[in-house]
Amino acid sequence: MNARTLLDDLAEVLVVPSFTRMGFGLRRRLYGWPDAESYPMTGRTVVLTGPTSGLGREAAGSFARMGADLVLVGRDAGRLERTRTDLLAEVPGLSAVAVVADMASLSSVRAAADEILGRTPRIDVIVDNAGTMVPTREVTPEGFERTFATMVLGPFVLVSRLLPRLLEAPDGRLVAVTSGGMYTQALPLDDLAYEHGTYNGARAYARAKRAQVALVREWARRLRGPGVVANAMHPGWADTPGLEASLPGFANLVGGQLRTAAEGVDTMLWLAAAPEARAVSGRLLLDRRARPFDRIPSTRLSAGDRETLWREVVALTGEPDPTPRR
């Protein structure tokens, strides 16, 4: 192990320097990264959820400047169209379509997937970025706990429906944006709907993110033969409207060391575009390097647990298993 890896690992163990902009700056200097936007994506199509604010909006602008064709998926038609219009003004000649979908509604996601398949002849990258944190337990009209539906069930349906098109790509990639909060929570497989105990919005969010990462590992295992790579990435603690809304005062606590949105999306862009990232699959990354899936042993999900979660999600969504023989 060389000196730069030791420094990187030390920052990771200490958490605070790792997740802040201090960690990003340290690693950029240590490894001499090329700028994420230097990787060309001309001719490739990216499906991006949650593109109208925060990390999603930053990523949309970067993908556009990198030459990608964009499919912008969001629940607010007005904000979605404004985002598309702004991107077209920033990047003349950009191909960008807006598709409305509420990720908490499986019927809405199915309709969006049909629209995407009808309007987009190829899909090279799917970025699962949309998220929500609600303070009280809510049940959707379809009967699902809203946080779990938004960040687990909806994305699973979207990826499942778009998978045949992604498999046609010569370099298909799936990227999920997770959160460091998932390290703090176990995932009770017998209570995915959070029906027991006192509901806590931050805890529900962290549980859903842990489920998301577990499913990414399953996607990677099941798609290894067909050649699609799947990874989760942690953006660190980034200064976004979502963070301020869900965790007010956190910026003051961190002391001005929150990452910029551009620093937060760097690894997302790298995973989507860099040729060398093609060699990585089934991992959780922060700052372009694989990190531990667990920090607390009691939160660990075994391979059997991940398969159980997969089967439960298939059953809850009512979708046919997209990888039935894996």
* Catalytic status, residue 205: yes
Cβ neighbours around 208 below 10 Å, total: 31
Cα(21)–Cα(3) distance, integer angstroms: 21
Give the CA count within 13 Å in the CB-facing half-sphere of 186: 12
Phi, psi of 285 (to 5 degrees): -120, 145
List 39, 183, 194, 205, catalytic entry: 205
- Candidates 157, 145, 132, 129; CA nearest to 73 is 129
Residue at 49: amino acid letter: T
Q: Select from 113, 205, 49 the least CA-distant residue to 59.
A: 49
Nearest alpha-carbon partner for 53 in 138, 119, 132: 132
Residues 264, 256: Cα–Cα separation, whole Å: 15
Taking alpha carbons only, the member of 280, 183, 158, 173 closest to residue 234 is 183
Sequence-distant (≥ 6) Cβ neighbours of residue 249 within 8 angstroms: none
* Dihedral angle computed from the Cα positions of residues 41, 43, 49 and 51, in that order, rounded to the nearest 10 degrees: 70
The answer to whether 159 touches 314, Cβ cutoff 8 Å, is no
Tell me the C-alpha distance between 253 and 235, whole Å.
Answer: 18
Alpha-carbon distance of 114 to 161, in angstroms, equals 8
Q: Is 290 helix (H, G, I), strand (E, B) or coil?
A: strand
Q: Where are the alpha helices (DSSP H) in 168-232?
A: 201-222
With tokens 């429906």, the residue in question is: 161
Q: Is the distance from CB of 129 to CB of 55 less than 8 angstroms? A: yes
Known catalytic residues are 205
